Structure 1
Amino acid sequence: MYQNRVLSVGAEFPAFSKKAVVSLERDQEFRTITEQEHRENDQWLVMFWWPKDFTFVCPTEIAEFNKNYDEFRDRDTQLIGASTDSEFVHAAWRRDHDDLRGLRFPMLADTSKSLAEELGILDAEEKVAYRVTYIVDPQGIIQWVSVNGLSVGRNVAEVLRVLDALQTDELCPCNWKKGEATLAV
């Protein structure tokens, strides 16, 4: 049986340089994105992956991340969405789907599947990425990973909660939320 070896907590997030859709404005749609951007800006990184463009669960997640974009920005966090579809498919989907036209974060295209493979997040049968969310600290170290099966959407509020907890650099109890007391040792 195939076993994924998902890159996990404590590992350095892999180097990458990928095309991404950053706009729907003519001649400004695409830009190359690297893992260095969040480090150079001393930011956290949240990268979330979805299996395929033009599907049903994926746009609900992408739209929810977009609704919470300011929450991530307020936490000095770069938000990147990604799949193994091409930048051209991403751009077409954004133009076609009402909830995706106004995205404020890049849609990364891992057409070679090299980053998804290095992360260990490709489905063995379909060769598409699982629904995976990474939280990476400003030094490029993975601090949290969440992996969902292909048919189950993730919880963006939980991503924000965990990001808040990680940014306290303190011990946070179960169900801790921003503003609550952390544990004293």
Structure 2
Amino acid sequence: MITINQKFPAFNKVAVISADYGKEFGEISSEELVNSDDRWTVMFWWPKDFTFVCPTEIAEFNKNYGEFKDRNTTLIGASTDSEHVHLAWRKSHADLKSLQFPMLSDTSKSLAEALGILESNEKVAYRATFIIDPLGMIRWVCVNDLNVGRNVNEVLRVLDGLQTDELTPCNWEKGQETLSV
């Protein structure tokens, strides 16, 4: 599995970027992750559309979209389902209709495979979360088994810690003192 201090793999994928007719799809590439405006990226993966745990996570990331935006962070959701399945799920699930971030499609499974998060039997992505710095380097990885949802508040806490560029103690939260050496 790819890990911290490694470059996020190159990719160019189709994503659902809107529910508006004629504006549903767009492309997202790894080149967008490397930028000069100090923008961070959080990319989180789920196993399958039209399941039970996945929409709870996606909806929670969406509820916290403003928190990520306030931290100058682009949020991208992803799975190995097609963009058409993403769109159908988004349109049919009440909690997904107003998503503010793209749903990336990795039908070739090439990105999930490059990240090392492809489950061996079903060939779906594990529940993986990557925090990527403005240089395109992975700074945090968390991977859950297929049946365990993640904690969006922990993703925000770690992002805050990384963005301080200082030492943060156990259970540190934004606004608390960092450690001095």
- Work out whether the TM-score is over 0.5: yes
Measured in 2, the distance between the counterparts of 1:166 and 1:123 equals 28
Q: Which residue of 2 aligns with 1:3?
A: none
Mean CA deviation greater in 41-50 or 157-166:
41-50
- C-alpha displacement of 1:103: 0.1
- Aligned 1:32-181 pairs, distance under 5 A: 32-40=27-35, 41-181=37-177
In 2, the alpha carbon distance for the partners of 1:35 and 1:169 equals: 23
- Three-state SS of the structure 1 residue aligned to 2:143 is strand
Indicate the residue corresponding to 2:23 in structure 1: 28
Measured against aligned partners, the alpha-carbon deviations of 1:67-87 in whole angstroms (never above 9, x if no partner) come to 000000110100000000000
Give, in whole Å, the separation in 1 of the partners of 2:33 and 2:11: 12
Deviations 1:110-168 (A, max 9, x none): 00000000000000001000000000100011000000000000000000000000000
Q: How many residues align structurally? A: 180
Report the Cα distance in structure 2 between the residues aligned to 1:55 and 1:133, rounded to whole angstroms. Answer: 18
Deviation at 1:38, TM superposition (A): 3.1
Residues 11-45 of structure 1, C-alpha deviations (whole Å, 9 max, x = no match): 10001100000101111000000122232343101
Q: Distance in 2 between matches of 1:34 and 1:71?
A: 23
CA RMSD of aligned residues (A): 0.6
TM-score (norm. length: structure 1): 0.96
